Amino acid sequence: MLNILVIGNGQCGNRILDAINKEAFGGKSKFAKFYSQQKYKSNVETIAINTAMNDLKEMRFTKAKDRLHIPHLHGVGANRNVGKHVFEDNKANIMRQIEERGNFDIGFVLTSASGGTGSSFTPPLIEELKKNYDFPIYAVVVLPFREEGTLYLQNAAFCLKDIRDSGVDGIILADNQFLKQMGGDVQSAYNTINDMIAKRILFLLDALDSEMMMVTDLGDFKTVMSGGAGLATIGFYEADKGMPIKSTIQKALSPSGLLFSTDVYKEGSRAMVIIKGDKSYLSIDEISTEVEKLSSSVGHVFKGIIVRKGESPQVLAVLTLEVAEELENLYSVAVDAIHQEREKKTRVTEQKGVDRAFSQIDGLEPDY
């Protein structure tokens, strides 16, 4: 049995963690967490960390003991410099809470790249975890909608770089901009995206701790994640019962299954494909043909098969990327945003427009 740590930082990280707990506690009643056992095979410890009490209170499926409030106003207002200081001041407390949960085989830290708390807590937290423990740690990082503004874009650019420099064992990308194709208003888009990420992580945790017909394990996952440029994404598809397994695999690797925009056949570096379902769906010929097609363009592909009586076919693909054109696009938009912010600041200090307006009444008194 694996011991797994899942930490959600900031509002986005908290909500994804809550979506994971919702699935794990059976999903339906908000009271489930008070009396249910989690459905995990593994021993999973979850911790939500936030500076904003309201974000923690909003969680419906995460136990109160798993919510850690770090007092600082009502958040750090998207300011990563403030966030880094707040983390430093509270580091000992945060690390103590983690230490009390025992030993782990693997850890995940969930965060948005663009807010304040999650994006500034995650890099130093991973650095600290890597300093103190020797289990692998993966960051699951949500990229912003591109129209959310200059501060979020610059945060995303610096946060990703900081996470990469933190000693993390791999970064799994999910992109709000790409996933907004799911449609709906912002709140329902968030819920859909969070559920998509939660479902993929839970499938992965289940697979890493399962008896498989063809084995993939934590060692294989580590090898996949250490490939490419340290960046990865996850694809998933659950088919209707009639769908052939070859189409299910193709769907998992297509834009409708992925969390980040990439052509896996062009940008992929290593992959792990896990196929689950009733054995009547699991044609070895079809599976081998699809896996060979993938491995001929990406290099090594680990494959695992989990036979589950009566279950419809499901496919999960973890893919590390060699290049990521969409990330390059994001960085060029972010660089424009950084310049825009800088120019605005220089204009304010050079022109002192508002000061000039006020200075016109220097020495004058109101006359009634």
Ligand X SMILES: Nc1nc2c(ncn2[C@@H]2O[C@H](COP(=O)(O)OP(=O)(O)OP(=O)(O)O)[C@@H](O)[C@H]2O)c(=O)[nH]1
Binding-site residues from annotation for GTP? 11-15, 116-118, 148, 176, 194
- Helix H or strand E encompassing 8: strand 3-9
Q: Does 320 bind ligand X (CB under 6 A)?
A: no
Distance CA 171, CA 185 (A): 28
Q: Does 237 bind ligand X (CB under 6 A)?
A: no
Q: Does 201 bind ligand X (CB under 6 A)?
A: no
The interface region with ligand X, picked from 117-125, 203-211, 243-251, 302-310 by CB under 6 A, is 117-125
Q: Does 193 bind ligand X (CB under 6 A)?
A: yes
| Alpha-helix runs per DSSP H in 77-226 | 80-99, 117-132, 150-164, 176-179, 186-208, 218-225
Q: Which residue is nearest to ligand X (CB)?
A: 115
The interface region with ligand X, picked from 72-80, 162-170, 232-240, 325-333 by CB under 6 A, is 72-80
Instruction: Please enumerate in sequence order all residues whose Cβ is within 8 A of that of 84, keeping only pairs 6 or more positions apart, or say none.
Output: 120, 124
Q: Does 195 bind ligand X (CB under 6 A)?
A: no
What is the dihedral angle through the alpha carbons of 275, 276, 282, 288, rounded to the nearest 10 degrees? Answer: 10
The conformation of residue 280, written as its DSSP 8-state character, comes to G
Tokens for 250, please give them.
């193709």
Tokens for 157, please give them.
């650019």
Q: Does 123 bind ligand X (CB under 6 A)?
A: no
Q: Does 190 bind ligand X (CB under 6 A)?
A: yes
Residues annotated in a binding site? 11-15, 116-118, 148, 176, 194
Whole-Å CA distances, 315 to 1, 162, 239, 278, 293 = 22, 32, 9, 12, 16
The count of other CB atoms within 10 Å of the CB of residue 213 is 14
Of 4, 5, 12, 157, which one interacts with ligand X (CB under 6 A)?
12
List, edge to edge, every strand of the sheet that includes 231-238.
Answer: 67-69, 43-50, 3-9, 106-112, 137-143, 170-175, 231-238, 314-321, 268-277, 301-307
Question: What 3-state DSSP class applies to 55?
Answer: helix
The interface region with ligand X, picked from 74-82, 96-104, 233-241, 244-252 by CB under 6 A, is 74-82
Q: Does 76 bind ligand X (CB under 6 A)?
A: yes
Q: Taking the complex as a whole, how short is the minimal distance between the CB of residue 51 and ligand X, in angstroms?
A: 5
Q: Which is nearer to ligand X, 74 or 347 (CB)?
A: 74
The interface region with ligand X, picked from 102-110, 144-152, 284-292, 303-311 by CB under 6 A, is 144-152
**Cβ pair 19, 195 in contact under 8 A:** yes
Of 8, 11, 67, 294, which one interacts with ligand X (CB under 6 A)?
11
- Helix H or strand E encompassing 20: helix 10-24
Of 152, 178, 221, 236, which one interacts with ligand X (CB under 6 A)?
152
Q: 82-101: which residues touch ligand X (CB under 6 A)?
A: none
Q: Does 118 bind ligand X (CB under 6 A)?
A: yes
Q: Does 75 bind ligand X (CB under 6 A)?
A: yes
Q: Does 277 bind ligand X (CB under 6 A)?
A: no
**Cβ pair 33, 61 in contact under 8 A:** yes
Q: Does 233 bind ligand X (CB under 6 A)?
A: no
Question: What 3-state DSSP class applies to 23?
Answer: helix
Please work out the total of residues on this chain that contact ligand X, with binding judged by CB under 6 A.
27
Q: Does 261 bind ligand X (CB under 6 A)?
A: no
Which positions lie near ligand X, rule CB under 6 A? 10-12, 15, 51-52, 55, 75-78, 112, 114-119, 142, 144-145, 148, 152, 176, 190, 193-194
